[in-house]
Amino acid sequence: MLGDRCGATDSGVRCGAVEVCASQDPTRPPNICPISSRQYKDAIEYVDDTGLKELHDETLGMRLATYNYKAQADDPNPKHLGFIIEDNPRSSPAVDWSHDRVDIYGYLSMVVATMQVQEKEIAELRRELEVARAQPITCGLSSAGESR
C-alpha cells in the first residue's frame, strides 16, 4: 500500500534498509539515484587538480574494517569489508545525506579521483626515469677523465 514501509529488500536481506511504497518508479527522475546524464544536472563544475588531490588524500585516509552486522540487520553474510562512517568526515562524498549509509556512487568517484592522481604521479615518475636513463653515467670521473 502506498506509503507502507518494510525492511526487506528484493533479495530478502534486511541489512537495515527501509523501503517505502511509492507511486513513482524510483529508478526514474526525479529522485536521488546517481543519474549521470547532463540533462538532469545543473551547476556542473569539474574537479581540478587540487580537488582531485584532496579526494585522493581523503580516500587513502579511510580506514577499512571487517565487520558483522548486528542481529537486527538480519544479514546472512557473516563478514563484510568497508569503512565506518563515524571514522570519516560527515561532509565526505562517500557518506549518504542521511549520514548512516555509504554513498556508493560518491565513494567510487573518490576512488576514481585517487586513481587519476596516482596515474599522473606514475606518468611523472616514468618521465623522470627516462631522463635519468638517457643521461650518461660518469662514475665519479671528471670531464678530463681523471678520478675525483
Distance of CA 116 to the CA centre of its chain: 12
Count of domains in the chain?
1
What pLDDT does residue 136 have? 84
Q: What percent of the chain has a predicted confidence (pLDDT) above 70?
A: 70
Give the Cα-Cα-Cα angle 13, 3, 24 (nearest 5 degrees): 90
Question: For residue 141, is it within any domain?
Answer: no
Question: For residue 63, is it within any domain?
Answer: yes
DSSP string, 12-76: S--TT--EE--SS-TTSSSSSS----GGG--S-----HHHHHHHHHHHHHPPEEEE---GGG--S
Domain range enclosing 65? 33-134
Question: For residue 82, is it within any domain?
Answer: yes
Instruction: State pLDDT tens for residues 56-94.
Output: 999 999 999 999 888 777 777 778 899 898 887 668 899
Query: In this model, does residue 13 exceed pLDDT 50?
Result: no
Average pLDDT, the chain: 80
